Amino acid sequence: MIRTEEMLLNVGPQHPSTHGVFRLVIKIDGEMIIDAKPVIGYLHRGTEKIAENLQYTQIIPYTDRLDYLAAMTNNYVLCHAVETMMELEIPERAEYLRIITMELGRIASHLVWWGTYLLDLGATSPFLYAFREREMIINLLNEISGGRLTFNYMRVGGVKWDAPDGWIEKVKAFIPYMREQLAGYGDLVTGNEIFLNRVKGIGQYTKEEAMDYSLSGANLRCTGLAWDLRKNEPYSIYDRFSFEICTADTGDAWGRYQVRIQEIEQSLRILEQAVEQFPETGEVMGKVPKVIKPPKGETFVRIESPRGEIGCYIASEGKKEPYRLKFRRPSFYNLQILPKLLVGQNMANLIAILGAIDIVLGEVDG
């Protein structure tokens, strides 16, 4: 007689494959997951509460620490919200610098995901390639902002620093290099049969489920819905560039992989056009009052971060500090579907499913 019983298994919060301090309590019956309960909040720093006592410019460094793999988009969403409230005009050159840094950040973020996801699946070398290329982007961003991870680069009304001499040329030179490497990634991983067997049909959901669970970014696009805020609700100067919305129709981990890899290529396309159109001269900071006081009222803006739809809600009383600040953090929303995806799956697929969602715990916990 074989005796079977359920077992409670605790994953994390300190575990490398959870990409941060994420805890998961799962119930297993043999090899099958029958229940899963995510436990979050280990990295909750109360950013929204802290922000209530800070002036808008002082909040920008805190946004760096939400999604620390793509801090530029976080910087931008706050500035964009304040600028929308105050109806500020942003100089051309600043807009281009913003786009260039944000798209570089998007590539860097997808590279980290690509490297660590394959590491999760047991392939060590892609990680090294990904971080080699990412390092070049980090160096570029370091040169313009003075930071490698937390840039604190954007300001309400523009950006803090102008591009140093020769920086645009460096970005220009990086684009063909990255293209070549991207093709190499395809040879190394994308066609690999072991990899394909590992990710195809894993963590699958339909378009309706994705919409129900408020998924966004690659998690939504992998179900075939062409939805990208850069294209559908253009902000900044994204309407000037031609690029495509990358989609897949499988709705599984393989689909998400394809979408992210294609997005690197599309970001390179945007970068190519942006450095081409980059204005020779001009201001990088618009005409902004010394003390930033958005008028009384409220705003909610959303933009496309590498992880999905990041939003910023501000309720202002016309003071220097926001009355209430709220970030719509894509990782927080995307992670909700995890228990649904895990139940009924084999234990071995746990990490493959979690990794494919692409979460950053700084963003999940706020």
Partner 1 sequence: MSEKDKEQLKKEAAEKARAAAQRKREEREKKKEKSNDSASEMPQTTEDVTSNQDLEKQKAAAAAKAKAAALAKKKAKEAEGTETEPTANQDLEKQKAIAIAKAKAAAAAKRKAKNANENGDSEKAKAIAAAKAKAAAAAKAKGKITQAKETEVSEPITPSPQQPILDRYLNIVKEHYKDDILEDSYINRMSKHVPTIVVKLEHYYSLALLFKQHSGLHFEFLSELHGTDFETYMEIYVHLYSFKNKQSVALKVKMDRENPRVDSIASIWPGANWPECEAYDLLGIQFTNHPDLHRIMLGEDWVGHPLRKDYEPYDVEV
Provide the binding-site residues for partner 1, judged by CB under 8 A: 40-41, 44, 46, 48-49, 84-88, 208, 211-215, 225, 227, 232, 287, 289, 293-295, 297-302, 309, 311, 313, 315, 323-324, 326, 328, 332-333, 335-336, 365-366
Q: How far is CA 3 from CA 8, 26, 29, 66, 183, in A?
A: 16, 20, 11, 47, 51
Give whichever of 106 and 293 is closer to partner 1, judged by the CB atom.
293
Dist. CA 130–CA 306, nearest whole Å: 16
Give whichever of 198 and 307 is closer to partner 1, judged by the CB atom.
307
Dist. CA 260–CA 219, nearest whole Å: 10
Dist. CA 26–CA 36, nearest whole Å: 4
Give whichever of 215 and 284 is closer to partner 1, judged by the CB atom.
215
CB of 263 to partner 1, least distance (A): 20
Dist. CA 142–CA 150, nearest whole Å: 10
DSSP run (H or E) holding 355: helix 350-357
Give whichever of 121 and 357 is closer to partner 1, judged by the CB atom.
357
CB of 10 to partner 1, least distance (A): 16
CB of 333 to partner 1, least distance (A): 6
> What pairing do the DSSP bridges indicate for beta strands 14-15 and 6-11?
unpaired
CB of 93 to partner 1, least distance (A): 20
Give whichever of 223 and 262 is closer to partner 1, judged by the CB atom.
223
Give whichever of 85 and 171 is closer to partner 1, judged by the CB atom.
85
Answer whether 70's CB lies under 8 Å from 108's CB: yes
Give whichever of 151 and 227 is closer to partner 1, judged by the CB atom.
227
CB of 69 to partner 1, least distance (A): 21
CB of 161 to partner 1, least distance (A): 24
Dist. CA 179–CA 175, nearest whole Å: 6
Buried b or exposed e, range 243-253, using 16+ CB within 10 angstroms: bebbbbebbbb
236 forms beta bridges with: none
CB of 90 to partner 1, least distance (A): 13
CB of 317 to partner 1, least distance (A): 10
- Which ranges of the chain would DSSP assign to H, the alpha helix? 47-51, 56-64, 71-86, 92-121, 125-145, 167-185, 193-199, 207-212, 218-221, 229-232, 253-277, 330-334, 338-342, 350-357, 361-365
Give whichever of 167 and 313 is closer to partner 1, judged by the CB atom.
313
Answer whether 162's CB lies under 8 Å from 93's CB: yes
Answer whether 214's CB lies under 8 Å from 272's CB: no
Q: How many CB atoms lie within 10 A of CB 4?
A: 7
Read off φ and ψ for residue 310, nearest 5 degrees.
Answer: -105, 130
